[in-house]
Amino acid sequence: MRYLLRVCSGSYTPFREKGDQAAFLNDLPVEYSGCGLGDFRESCLRVETKEGFRACGLTYAGHRIFGGKPALPGLPATYGGEKDCTTLELTCCDKVLGLTVRLYYTAFEKLDAICRSVQIENGGTEALKLTTVLSACLDLDNRNFDMLTLHGSWAYERMICRKELGWGKQRISSNRGISSHQEQPFMALVEHTATQTQGQVYAMNFVYSGNFMAQAETSQQEQVRMVMGIDPEGFGWRLAPGDTFQAPEVVMVYSDCGLGGMTRTFHDLYRGHLIRGPYKDKARPSLVNNWEATYFDFNTDKLLDIARTAAESGIEMLVVDDGWFGHRDNDRSSLGDWYVNEKKLPGGLDRLVRQVNALGLKFGIWVEPEMISPDSDLYRAHPDYALQIPGRPGTLGRWQLVLDMSRQDVRDCVYEQLYKILSSANIEYVKWDMNRPLTDAASFSLDDDRQGELYHRYVLGVYEMQERLLRDFPHLLLENCASGGGRFDPGMLYYSPQIWTSDNTDAIDRLRIQEGTALIYPLSTMGAHVAACPSHTNSRTTPFETRALAALPGCFGYELDLTKLSTEEKAMIPGQLERYRKYGWVFRTGDYYRLASYSENGEYDALMAVSKDKRIAVVDYIHVMSRERRRSLILPLQGLDENQAYRSAETREVRSGAAWMYGGMPLPKMRGDFLGQLMVLEAAAV
C-alpha cells in the first residue's frame, strides 16, 4: 500500500531530514495528526507542557491485532465478540513528551464499518495539558466530494444538508454541552454524483453526547482531511504522570452503493452492536403520553380517564410526563425535588400505578435528573450544586439551572431520589429529559487548572448515572429526550433503545425530521406519536389516519387527550394498533429504503422496509400535496428478491421482485392533501 503515500516534497513545505519518508509531513496522509511540527492541517492531538511548549509528533512504536473489541471505560461504545469483529491496536509515541498514544481500530468485517478510538497515556515525569484530543482522522484525495451533515433547530432537528466541499476548513460543532438540535455528530463525504443507490460514501458518527466537532478540510494538494472528536473549544485536560485519557469512539462507515448502503450499515451496526438491554430486539409497547394532552394541568382523575380510554382502544402503556413532582404547575419550579405532588396525585405513585395496572396498562414516568430549579428545596439547600462561575449571576434556560453532573455527591443525591421513586411503584418505563444547554460551565469541585474538564466530566457523569439506573432496574425501558431531539446520538442509544425524536409532532414536518434521523439511526430508535390537531407546533391540521401512518415506522404512541377524540377517530385506534403489531416489526428489524423524499420532490414521501429474509415488504406512502395528474405515479421499489414472486396485500396482484423494483409499483391515486396508505407485499408461491 506504500505506493498510495506518494511521498514527495511539496513546494514551500518544511521538512525534517531529507530521505526521511515522512519528511514533508504536510503532504503525507497520516492516521492521527500531532501539532506544531509541519503538518498545517487540523491537529488531532494538541499538548501543552508546563513551560507552554505546544508541539507533538507521533511515531510508530508497535501494534497488535486481536479478535473482539475491548469496552471503553466509562464511555458508550459499540461492542462485538470474536466472531463479529477484529481489533488493531496501534501504539505510537512522542519520546520528547513521554507520551504514548494508542489508536484502536475495530473492523466489523460483515458491515463495512470501522470503529476508532484513542487512548493517551502520560509516561513522562511532568503533567501535561491536553487541549485537543480528537478521535478519528481520515486523509484521502478529493474525489469531487460533497459534504453531508444534519443541521437543525428545536422542533426541526436533523435536516439533511448537502453541499459541495470547498477549499479550506468546513466544520460543524456543538459547544452546548449536548450533541444538540443544531448539528448532529455526523459527517459524510459523498461523491458528487452519488445517490441513494450508487456512489461512494465515507461517513463518521460520534458515539458521544456532549460537545463535538467534525470537520472536512481540503488542502493545497487537494487532499481532504476529515476529523471528528470532542470540540477543542472549552476543552483542556490535565494529564498527570501515569494518567490515561480515553477519547470516545467514532464509527466510520463506507458504502460503494450510495447513501442507502451507508444508512443500512449504520442501522445494522447500531441495532446489533450498540443498543443493549431487554428491549434491544423486542417490540416496544404502544403508549399514550399526557404531555400534549394536559401539559401541567392534570390530577389522578384526568389521568385515569385517559388510561381508561387507552385501555378500551388497546394501547399498552400510560406515560405521565412533566408536572407530577414537587409543586410543579408550570416550568418555573421543582426540578430537583423528585417526590410526588400529593395534591395532584393523592396516595402517591403506587396508588395511581395500581389503578393504571388494574386497567391492563403498563406505567411510565418522565424525569429530568440533570436540572435544578432556583425555586426548589434542593437549590435552597445546595445552591452550589448548580454549574456556575463565581462572581457571575448565572444563566437561566427554561427558568432552570444545570446540575453539576461531574460531582459524585450531586449525582448520588439525585440518584437516590430517583431510586426511591422508581422503587415505590411498578414503573416500567422512564423518559429521561434534558431541557437546556450548558452555560456557566464551571464546577466547585474542580481545581482551577481543571475547569476545562467540566464539559466532558459532565457527560461522563450522565453516562454513569444512566448505567446505574439500568443496573438497578434491568427491566426498565429507558427513552432519552432533550427538548425533543437535542441529544439524539449514538452515545444515548447505548443506554436507551429509543429517543424522543422531536417536540414537533406535526405529521408532515415529522416526515422530514424522521427522514434525516433515519439517515443514520434505525427506525426502531425513533419515538413517534400521533398528536392532536391543529398541531401544537405549527397549527396544521392533518387526518387522524395520516398522523398514524407518519408515526408507524417508529416507536408508536399517542400524545393527545384520547377522551376528546371524536367517535370516528377513537374507532380508528384499534386498527392502527393492529397494523403496528402486524407490521411494526418489519420497520423495526428489516432493511430500510428511502424511496421518495417530500423535502426533495415537494409532493410525496415514501419509505420502505424489507424483512431480512425478504419475505415481506412494507411501503409507507404519504401523499403530501395534491397535484392534478392524469396518470398515477409509479414508484420503483428496492431491496426485494428479484426472483421471488410477491403479492400486493391491497390489489392482490402478483409480480416478481424484479418487476416491482424495475417496473415499479403504481401508487394509489389520491385527491386532497395529507393523505397516505401503507402498502404490503408478501412473498407468494407461483
Give the nearer residue to ligand GLA in terms of CB position, either 251 or 481.
Answer: 481
Tell me which of 375, 433, 591, 605 is the catalytic residue.
Answer: 433
Taking the complex as a whole, the smallest distance from the CB of residue 505 to ligand GLA amounts, in Å, to: 9
What is the spatial distance between Cα 389 and Cα 370, in angstroms, rounded to a whole number? 18
Give the nearer residue to ligand GLA in terms of CB position, either 41 or 436.
Answer: 436
Neighbour-count burial for 397-436, b at 16+ CB within 10 Å, e otherwise? eebbbbbbbbbeebbebbbebbbebbeebebbbbbbbbbb
What is the spatial distance between Cα 507 and Cα 516, in angstroms, rounded to a whole number? 15
What is the spatial distance between Cα 551 and Cα 526, in angstroms, rounded to a whole number? 9
3-state SS, residue 418: helix
In sequence order, the β-bridge partners of residue 169 are 217
Task: Give the chain's end-to-end CA distance (angstroms, integer).
Answer: 51
Q: Shortest CA distance to 545 belongs to which of 527, 533, 561?
A: 533
Report the interface residues with ligand GLA, using CB under 6 A.
291, 321-322, 366, 433, 435, 481, 483-484, 500, 503
Taking the complex as a whole, the smallest distance from the CB of residue 343 to ligand GLA amounts, in Å, to: 19
What's the sign of the alpha-carbon dihedral 262, 263, 264, 266? Answer: positive
Taking the complex as a whole, the smallest distance from the CB of residue 435 to ligand GLA amounts, in Å, to: 5
What is the spatial distance between Cα 259 and Cα 191, in angstroms, rounded to a whole number? 10
Classify strands 362-367 and 317-320 as parallel, antiparallel or unpaired. Answer: parallel
Q: Shortest CA distance to 487 belongs to which of 184, 279, 248?
A: 184
Give the nearer residue to ligand GLA in terms of CB position, either 223 or 294.
Answer: 294
What's the sign of the alpha-carbon dihedral 552, 555, 560, 565? Answer: positive
Taking the complex as a whole, the smallest distance from the CB of residue 321 to ligand GLA amounts, in Å, to: 5
Give the nearer residue to ligand GLA in terms of CB position, either 368 or 569.
Answer: 368
Taking the complex as a whole, the smallest distance from the CB of residue 291 to ligand GLA amounts, in Å, to: 5
Taking the complex as a whole, the smallest distance from the CB of residue 68 to ligand GLA amounts, in Å, to: 37
What is the spatial distance between Cα 383 and Cα 18, in angstroms, rounded to a whole number? 61
At residue 69, what are phi and psi to the nearest 5 degrees? -150, 125
For residue 433, indicate whether it is catalytic: yes
CA distance to 23, 27, 28, 454, per residue, from 140 (Å): 19, 11, 10, 34
Tell me which of 503, 509, 591, 605 is the catalytic residue.
Answer: 503
For residue 605, indicate whether it is catalytic: no
Give the nearer residue to ligand GLA in terms of CB position, either 366 or 495.
Answer: 366
What is the spatial distance between Cα 316 and Cα 288, in angstroms, rounded to a whole number? 8
Taking the complex as a whole, the smallest distance from the CB of residue 298 to ligand GLA amounts, in Å, to: 12
Taking the complex as a whole, the smallest distance from the CB of residue 26 to ligand GLA amounts, in Å, to: 46
Give the nearer residue to ligand GLA in terms of CB position, either 45 or 550.
Answer: 550
What is the spatial distance between Cα 519 and Cα 523, in angstroms, rounded to a whole number? 10
Q: Using an 8 Å Cβ cutoff, are 113 and 73 in contact?
A: no
**Rounded (5°) CA angle 34-36-41:** 65
Q: Where are the beta strands (DSSP E) in 487-644?
A: 498-500, 526-531, 555-559, 591-596, 604-610, 616-623, 634-635
Q: Shortest CA distance to 249 belongs to which of 441, 431, 463, 451?
A: 463
What is the spatial distance between Cα 34 and Cα 58, in angstroms, rounded to a whole number? 6
Q: Which residue is nearest to ligand GLA (CB)?
A: 322
Alpha helices by DSSP H, 110-233: none
Give the nearer residue to ligand GLA in terms of CB position, either 249 or 561.
Answer: 561
What is the spatial distance between Cα 99 and Cα 120, in angstroms, rounded to a whole number? 7
Taking the complex as a whole, the smallest distance from the CB of residue 433 to ligand GLA amounts, in Å, to: 5
Give the nearer residue to ligand GLA in terms of CB position, either 213 or 365.
Answer: 365
Which grid coordinates are listed for 537? Answer: 407546533
Give the nearer residue to ligand GLA in terms of CB position, either 128 or 401.
Answer: 401
**Rounded (5°) CA angle 614-523-541:** 115
Q: Give how far the C-alpha of residue 382 lies from the chain's centroid of Cα atoms, to the nearest Å.
A: 33
Give the nearer residue to ligand GLA in terms of CB position, either 117 or 483.
Answer: 483
Give the nearer residue to ligand GLA in terms of CB position, either 560 or 665.
Answer: 560
Taking the complex as a whole, the smallest distance from the CB of residue 527 to ligand GLA amounts, in Å, to: 9
Taking the complex as a whole, the smallest distance from the CB of residue 189 to ligand GLA amounts, in Å, to: 32
Taking the complex as a whole, the smallest distance from the CB of residue 289 to ligand GLA amounts, in Å, to: 7
Give the nearer residue to ligand GLA in terms of CB position, either 148 or 481.
Answer: 481
Classify strands 616-623 and 604-610 as parallel, antiparallel or unpaired. Answer: antiparallel
In sequence order, the β-bridge partners of residue 367 are 432
Q: Using an 8 Å Cβ cutoff, are 270 and 497 in contact?
A: no
Could you give the residue numbers annotated as active site? 433, 503
